[in-house]
Amino acid sequence: MTDAVSGDWSCHSCKEKTDEYLQARHAYVAELLKRYEGAMERKSKILEIIRSLDLPNNPLDDIIDQLGGPDKVAEMTGRRGMLVRASGGKGVTYQARNTKDVTMEMVNMHEKQLFMDGKKLVAIISEAGSAGVSLQADRRAVNQKRRVHLTLELPWSADRAIQQFGRTHRSNQASAPEYRLLFTNLGGERRFASIVAKRLETLGALTQGDRRAGPTLSAYNYDSAYGKRALMVMYRGIMEQDSLPVLPPGCSSDKPDTVQDFILKGKAALVSVGIVRDTVLGNGKDSGKFSGRIVDSDMHDVGRFLNRLLGLPPEIQNRLFELFVSILDLLIQNAHIEGHFDSGIVDMKANIIELQGTPKTVHVDHMSGASTVLFTFTMDRGITWESASALLDEKQKDGLGSADDGFYESKREWLGRRHFLLAFEGSASGMYKIFRPAVGEALREMPLKELRGKYRKISSLEKACSGWEDEYEVSSKQCMHGPNCKLGNFCTVGRRLQEVNVVGGLILPVWGTIEKALSKQARQSHKRLRVVRIETTTDNQRIVGLLIPNAAVESVLHDLAWVQEIDD
């Protein structure tokens, strides 16, 4: 047994297996060397191609170079180095941002001081370098020139947005900054203006005591509670879980196929940007259709929706955005009608506003001696026939009028009466400004299709004049619900002459009392506290206070009197 093992297995078999292993290993190493040589050859070719590419400069370095270079521009960013144009004018060289005299940790503060001293008149700041930096036109600084703040890219975070804009808008400034925001009119890119609009309003409230600091951007503030609801409604409509409340852009109610085609394209677009997930392409009669789901976290995420829109072709991008805005406008309009819309301090506007009688003191604070006062105003919201005719004549005289401009009457009667209005084309094609005898100019413009669907144009000026003046007169005595309205004189819908009660003066100590009194009201719209600003048209007396619905005045006065008795 021992001889068999030693002579037959240990030497001969082992030698054969060892030779086979070595041959295989040499072949494997040769293959690896071949692959390595091929990879090195490809690497050399790729590097040659990269070296031959005419690549653009780094955007930030290019801006600095065009503005005069590092000697003219103060940079406050988180970068450690930069690309500077070579002395010969060709190419760039990399150099550290700091010098021997300035540490890297202090380089941003050094650059900031050069800007404030007027040695550099341009400053570029980023998120990383904006914290703790004051760049306003400080009266204590050498450089007191008015700041022009250009924003090329707006931050995601609301807190960082207010921080960056606050760099150039601070106390003790010689002049207020001018803000310029750069964004295209593509639907998705309006996300940038949406975030900034919301923050600029806050910036105004903090520094001016008035939300009107940034009114021109309020139209782009889509990331709100109403925006989230509008997004959910749109998603459910596109996913065919519910019907869309408005007609999609470019579609016709007479051609249902156009709506279905839009829904199909909209769903495909949402799939392509990852909003619709777990998609399955249908077969048979559902061939070409996608099925999937939108997760709950995406259903109300307006920022993600507007951001993802950037990845879509402009045509479907703008159509989806227009649909979203149309639904948002509808929700806000309904909230206005129901009295739920909270728009901060509301300006009460009318053609004639007069203070009625002497303001009544309803509460006195014994600690400060300050008083709470009830002001009663009479508002005339209507527009006379003469004024309406003058508006139309002026529009037609300028040659800017449309063939559809003119006076209209409703096709259907409302409580036995037809209603009249004046319409002429507004800021956008196909949208019409509406003026009514009882309430003047409407809050929203009406699409031409809706105008033609509900009203007919009047060719006879005599008929238009008669109907207009009749509605103007009737609306001074009753609401649009007629003389039998359940709310009686408390109803203000369509009423031209209104009595408005505003509690002004000392408000905070009685805020809770007024809020509790309003909570007892029957109508939902009468339960909410509203801060209003009202100015008389006769002597320009301006009052800011809480609007008290007529139906709630007695209850509020009763509760305030009770609080006064306790204080006494």
pLDDT-based confidence at residue 307 (cuts at 50, 70, 90): confident
Question: Lowest-confidence range among 41-55, 68-82, 267-281?
Answer: 267-281
Residue 244 structure tokens: 């869309």
What is the pLDDT, as a whole number, of residue 428? Answer: 65
pLDDT at 197: 62
Contact 550, 363 (CB under 8 A): no
Phi, psi of 72 (to 5 degrees): -110, -15
Q: What is the mean pLDDT of residues 421-447?
A: 83
Asked if the model's pLDDT at residue 121 lies above 50, the reply is yes
209-222 pLDDT, tens digit per residue, is: 444 444 434 445 67
pLDDT at 459: 87
Q: Which of 35-44, 53-62, 281-290, 551-560 has the least mean pLDDT?
A: 281-290
Residues of the chain above pLDDT 70, percent: 83
Q: How confident is the model at residue 540 (pLDDT cuts 50, 70, 90)?
A: confident
**Does position 108 have pLDDT exceeding 80, yes or no?**
yes
Which of 134 and 185 is assigned the larger pLDDT? Answer: 134
208 band by pLDDT with thresholds 50, 70 and 90: very low
Query: How do residues 356-370 score in pLDDT, each as one tens digit?
Result: 989 999 988 888 889
Give me the pLDDT at residue 2, please: 46
pLDDT at 16 > cutoff 60: yes
Confidence of residue 235 (pLDDT cuts 50, 70, 90): very high
Is 246 within 8 Å of 343 (Cβ atoms)? no
Confidence grade of residue 1 (pLDDT, cut at 50, 70, 90): very low
Give me the helices (H) in 153-213, please. 158-165, 190-208
pLDDT for the residue 200:
63
Mean pLDDT, rounded, for 530-553:
88
* 287 pLDDT tier (thresholds 50, 70, 90): low
Indicate whether 56 pLDDT > 90. no
89 against 507, higher pLDDT: 507
CA–CA distance, 295 with 226 (Å, rounded to integer): 19
pLDDT at 92: 83
Residue 6 has pLDDT above 50, yes or no: no
At residue 501, the pLDDT reads 92
3 state DSSP class of 417: strand
As beta bridge partners, residue 501 has 376, 548
- Residue 342 CA to residue 340 CA, distance in Å, equals 6
What was the pLDDT predicted at 450?
83
pLDDT digits (tens, 9 = 90+) for 462-501: 999 999 999 898 888 888 777 778 777 777 778 888 889 9
Higher local confidence (pLDDT), 396 or 406? 406
Rounded Cα distance between 26 and 501, Å, is: 99
Confidence of residue 199 (pLDDT cuts 50, 70, 90): low
* pLDDT (tens digit per residue) in 146-196: 999 988 876 655 556 667 788 888 889 999 888 887 777 776 566 556 656
More confident residue, 224 or 499: 499
Would the pLDDT of 143 be above 90?
Answer: yes
Contacts of 252 (CB under 8 A, 6+ apart): 258
Is 544 within 8 Å of 345 (Cβ atoms)? yes
Report pLDDT for 486: 76
Instruction: Provide the mean pLDDT of the chain.
Output: 82
**Both tokens assigned to 534:** 């009202």
What does the chain come to in residues?
568
480-487 long-range contacts (CB < 8 A, ≥24 apart) are 480/414, 480/415, 480/419, 480/438, 481/415, 482/415, 487/523, 487/551
Q: pTM for the whole thing?
A: 0.53
